[in-house]
Amino acid sequence: MNKTRVAVLISGRGSNMTALIEAAKAKDYPAEIVLVVSNRADAAGLARAREAAITTAVIDHRPFGEDRQAFEHALDAELRKNRIEIVCLAGFMRLLSPWFIAHWSGRILNIHPALLPEFKGLDTHRRALEAGAKRHGATVHFVVEETDAGPVIRQQSVPVLQGDTEETLAARVLEVEHRIYPEALRLVAEGQVKFAAPQIEIKNPRV
């Protein structure tokens, strides 16, 4: 079987990355994790990736300063060097520019710890508790320009229980994350789910 070549982008502990690596060990899984990229050299997930004998790369965003595009060109070059077909964001704490997203359109997935479109952005568990939500959960979606707004591939809810703290709720959601991210990647790698962004019409193209 020709497996889809996947890169996972992380900034931290990498538990979703690990879930993807574990799932991809199955013979019949349609994707393989061939590269893990972090923008932080101290991301705990890097060590876990190395233990799993996966190629890792650190592309520190700081030397690029305000030049987001230069950082993303370096990232793009690393992805192309490794012949990556799908990019999975897993706790990657950099916003990607329209250029990068257009370039990888339909081929970037993200996991968000809430039931989108509810609670986009950060601190989702705290905000769900504050809002008195009865249910919370996680979503895997295609990445589009607008943050946390792309088409949903997979989503699962968990109950919010009496006495929940941010930590207990986060732990319940994380279990779901680890289940649905491999499921969503499978669907995309098998071509069962596709996303094609609308084409932008270029008027008066120069030739």
Please choose, out of 28-36, 54-62, 106-114, 126-134, the segment that lies near ligand GRF by the rule CB under 6 A.
106-114
Q: Does 12 bind ligand GRF (CB under 6 A)?
A: yes
What does the per-residue mask of binding to ligand GRF show for 26-65, with x meaning CB under 6 A? -------------------x--------------------
Q: Evaluate whether 134 touches 113 at the Cβ level (below 8 Å).
A: no
Q: Does 13 bind ligand GRF (CB under 6 A)?
A: yes
- Indicate if 103 belongs to the active site: no
Q: Evaluate whether 64 touches 70 at the Cβ level (below 8 Å).
A: yes
The DSSP result for 152-207, as a single string, is: EEEEEEEEPPTT--HHHHHHHHHHHHHHHHHHHHHHHHTTSS---PPPPP-SS---
**Minimal distance, residue 168 CB to ligand GRF, in Å:** 14
Q: Does 87 bind ligand GRF (CB under 6 A)?
A: no
Q: Which residues of 58-92 are buried (b: 16+ CB within 10 A; e: fewer)?
A: ebebeebeeebeebbebbbebbeebebbbbbbbbb
How are beta strands 55-58 and 31-38 bridged, if at all?
A: parallel
Closer to ligand GRF by CB, 45 or 150: give it. Answer: 45
**Minimal distance, residue 153 CB to ligand GRF, in Å:** 14
Residue 188, phi then psi, degrees to nearest 5: -75, -40
The catalytic residue among 61, 73, 103, 112 is: 112
Q: Does 172 bind ligand GRF (CB under 6 A)?
A: no
Closer to ligand GRF by CB, 30 or 137: give it. Answer: 137
Q: Evaluate whether 89 touches 143 at the Cβ level (below 8 Å).
A: yes
Q: Does 90 bind ligand GRF (CB under 6 A)?
A: yes
The binding site for ligand GRF (CB under 6 A) comprises 10, 12-17, 45, 90-91, 111-113, 177
